[in-house]
A and B are shown apart, each in its own frame.
Chain A
Amino acid sequence: MKALLVAEYRDGQLLASSYELVAFAQELGADSAMFLVGSDSALPQYDGTLHLADSGKYSEFNPAVHKQLLLDVIAKEQPEMVVFSHSSYGWDLAPRISLALGAAHASEVVEIVDGVPVVPVCNAKLRRQISAKTDQIVVTLQSGAFGLSSDPVGTPTVEKIDTDTAAQVEFGGYEEAEAGGVDLSKAEVIVSAGRGIGKPENLTIIEDLARALKGEYGASRPVVDSEWVDHSRQVGSTGQTVSPKLYVACGISGAIQHLAGMKKSEYVIAINTDKDAPIGEVADVLVVADLKEFVPALTAKLTA
């Protein structure tokens, strides 16, 4: 089998997540080639053909043009599988490609079982196997689901590619995440509030527990989106990545984008009314309880 790996590039850098695609191809025992809109100055460490377009010329975000560049390479390489990261770049470009190819398309693949991609359903409470009715298939891989066991090595054989397709959107550069606020990456204990806190007034019980444990408090995205907590305290793929000695997740379901930010924590305690919440998968201890009762009780005993 042959897989075409769509590597990613941002702000002049190759994204390390591109190596997850290499690991995936290796796990499948597939031959591979790589596609990248990037530059000569930041080539992947990869033994194989790299079809390289110049991001200076085609921009780092330009779906219609990247689509055509990629379709030209697909026509040449004839891969059975086109592989993306399930990332802001991948989930944007992949449907454009699957539609143009008339190919099946599995999003956020976590594993391949007997050649069939498996994806999460319902906030990862369920799994689904997708069987393609087409010869070609497009997949996007869940971040972190596949990884190389050692550092990447190799030097690609670069083939330059070009197109004269017109752009449909104009990319005007990046805006950095707001700086300032707290740096949770150095905290040894983090107590995080999720949507399960119910209302902003309940944030104090999370802050009180954080104080009792001499730590910081953090939050999941809905709590930040509701403006109950500053964005600098958001943990997850679009917030901070933390690795405390102790992480206490209060009323957090455990969506993959939240786990991405906290799964390197040494010890995880989850407090949740739902015994089946996916956070249970990564928690060392799952306390099945209403946080409004349990958290104040715990704080009281810790400070007694």
Chain B
Amino acid sequence: MKILVCIKQVPDMESKFKIAGDATWYDSGDLAWRMNEYDEYAVEQAVQLKSQVGDADLTVLCIGPQRVQETMKKALAMGCDRGVHIADDEPFKKDPFEIASIIAEFATDKKFDMIFTGMQSQDRGSAQVGILVAELLNIPSISTVVDFAFADGKVSAKRELEGGIKALVSCATPALVTCQLGMNTPRYPTLPNIMKAKRKELLSFPAADLLKVEGKQETAKVYFPEKKGGGLVLEGAAGDLADQLIQILKEKTAVLA
């Protein structure tokens, strides 16, 4: 069985963001980078599927600058067999259709039986790339999956809907699923597996080799939202803050009555 998992490298969301010079993205300096949270579930599910079927080959793919190789090494240490790094210094300038087209162009003659992506990326959050890849490859896709099973060439999945209701959906492979938070428990790479990952194949080639389409949209501007809330911000020592807050609770709410 051939499996592909697509991951994205994103900044830690607790970072202090700055706007980049041309105001079309955030400044990439001084940020801590990690694997998109949703993609950790995708990698884990792909690794579990590989161990379930035994005879499987698992590729992890990522489009981005040189630094994404660090995140790819984590996926290799989690159990992916090989990495495909599609080098692009400014992937944020490509729209979801272009990103998906690059992935689909790579995958088109490789005959992957299963493709996993995250449901969305934490920075751009378009929730488009996975489904677009499947549509471009003309294979079925199931999005927002919290439960995945594979048997007899068939995928049985639970999609999560609003309110926590689940829809039971199945389809034949080849297929693509987009992974939602809580789908499984992503493993921590062990030290021996981190060492082993260093020796795994990690191919790298330029995105331009695979890009054959033009984008449909571009970012006009990125900016900080206006602070509408205007709530009170308290800073200081914990004990003093507690006194202040109790005073506020007494004045503004009835809960301490």
Given contacts A107-B127, A287-B234, A301-B243, contact A126 B225 (CB under 8 A): yes
Q: Contact flags (1/0) for A95-111 with B, using CB distance below 8 Å? A: 11011101111111000
Number of interface residues of B (CB under 8 A): 77
Least CB separation from B171: chain A residue? A169
Which B residues are CB-close (under 8 A) to A23? none
Which residues of chain A (212-270) have a CB below 8 Å from chain B?
Answer: 213-215, 221-222, 224-225, 231, 234, 237-239, 245-246, 253, 266-269
* Contact indicator B252/A267 (Cβ below 8 Å): yes
* Contact indicator B235/A288 (Cβ below 8 Å): yes
* Contact indicator B225/A124 (Cβ below 8 Å): yes
Q: Contact flags (1/0) for A122-159 with B, using CB distance below 8 Å? A: 11111111111110000000000000000000000000
Which B residues are CB-close (under 8 A) to A298? 241-242, 245-246
Which A residues are CB-close (under 8 A) to B195? none
Which A residues are CB-close (under 8 A) to B208? none
Is B126 in the interface zone, CB < 8 Å from A? yes
* Contact indicator A88/B142 (Cβ below 8 Å): no
Is B219 in the interface zone, CB < 8 Å from A? yes
B interface secondary structure, majority = mixed
Partner of B220, one of A87, A103, A105, A129: A129
Given contacts A107-B127, A174-B168, A246-B253, contact A126 B222 (CB under 8 A): yes
Which residues of chain B (199-257) have a CB below 8 Å from chain A?
Answer: 214-225, 227-229, 231-235, 238-239, 241-243, 245-246, 248-249, 252-256
Per the bound structure, the CA–CA distance linking A238 and B128 in Å amounts to 20
* Contact indicator B233/A106 (Cβ below 8 Å): no
* Contact indicator A285/B232 (Cβ below 8 Å): yes
Partner of A169, one of B135, B170, B252: B170
A interface secondary structure, majority = mixed
Is B1 in the interface zone, CB < 8 Å from A? no
Shortest beta-carbon distance from A10 to chain B in Å: 7
Which B residues are CB-close (under 8 A) to A127? 222-225
Is B3 in the interface zone, CB < 8 Å from A? no
Is B132 in the interface zone, CB < 8 Å from A? yes
* Contact indicator B241/A289 (Cβ below 8 Å): yes
* Contact indicator A126/B234 (Cβ below 8 Å): no
* Contact indicator A126/B26 (Cβ below 8 Å): yes
| Complex A-B, nearest 8 residue pairs according to Cβ-Cβ distance, in ascending order | A177-B164, A225-B182, A172-B168, A168-B140, A104-B217, A129-B220, A169-B171, A95-B131
Partner of A289, one of B26, B144, B217, B238: B238
Q: Could you name 13 residue pairs across A and B whose Cβ atoms are closer than 8 Å?
A: A86-B127, A91-B128, A104-B216, A122-B13, A123-B13, A127-B225, A133-B215, A176-B165, A188-B255, A281-B229, A287-B234, A287-B241, A302-B256
Per the bound structure, the CA–CA distance linking A275 and B141 in Å amounts to 39
Is A1 in the interface zone, CB < 8 Å from B? no
Per the bound structure, the CA–CA distance linking A280 and B233 in Å amounts to 8
* Contact indicator B239/A172 (Cβ below 8 Å): no
* Contact indicator A121/B238 (Cβ below 8 Å): no
Which B residues are CB-close (under 8 A) to A123? 13, 122
* Contact indicator A175/B127 (Cβ below 8 Å): no
Per the bound structure, the CA–CA distance linking A80 and B161 in Å amounts to 29
Is B57 in the interface zone, CB < 8 Å from A? no
Given contacts A269-B245, A284-B232, contact A88 B215 (CB under 8 A): no
Per the bound structure, the CA–CA distance linking A108 and B223 in Å amounts to 16
Shortest beta-carbon distance from A68 to chain B in Å: 13
User: What number of residue pairs across chains A and B have CB atoms under 8 A from each other?
Assistant: 243
Which B residues are CB-close (under 8 A) to A172? 168-170
Least CB separation from A275: chain B residue? B233
Is A182 in the interface zone, CB < 8 Å from B? no
Which A residues are CB-close (under 8 A) to B255? 188-189, 213-215, 245-246
Further contacts, 10 of them, CB under 8 A, given A107-B125, A231-B164? A91-B120, A104-B95, A122-B11, A127-B223, A174-B168, A177-B166, A237-B162, A277-B14, A281-B228, A287-B245
* Contact indicator B167/A171 (Cβ below 8 Å): yes
Which B residues are CB-close (under 8 A) to A245? 253-255
Least CB separation from B11: chain A residue? A122
Per the bound structure, the CA–CA distance linking A185 and B232 in Å amounts to 26
* Contact indicator B135/A99 (Cβ below 8 Å): yes
Per the bound structure, the CA–CA distance linking A268 and B97 in Å amounts to 40
Shortest beta-carbon distance from B211 to chain A in Å: 16
Is B187 in the interface zone, CB < 8 Å from A? no
Which B residues are CB-close (under 8 A) to A86? 127
Per the bound structure, the CA–CA distance linking A106 and B217 in Å amounts to 9
Partner of A108, one of B125, B131, B171, B248: B125
* Contact indicator B126/A107 (Cβ below 8 Å): yes
Per the bound structure, the CA–CA distance linking A224 and B17 in Å amounts to 28
Per the bound structure, the CA–CA distance linking A226 and B174 in Å amounts to 31
Is A183 in the interface zone, CB < 8 Å from B? no
* Contact indicator A120/B234 (Cβ below 8 Å): no
Per the bound structure, the CA–CA distance linking A175 and B128 in Å amounts to 25
Is B181 in the interface zone, CB < 8 Å from A? yes
Shortest beta-carbon distance from A98 to chain B in Å: 8
Per the bound structure, the CA–CA distance linking A277 and B132 in Å amounts to 31
Per the bound structure, the CA–CA distance linking A304 and B210 in Å amounts to 67
Partner of B143, one of A91, A122, A253, A277: A91
* Contact indicator B161/A107 (Cβ below 8 Å): no
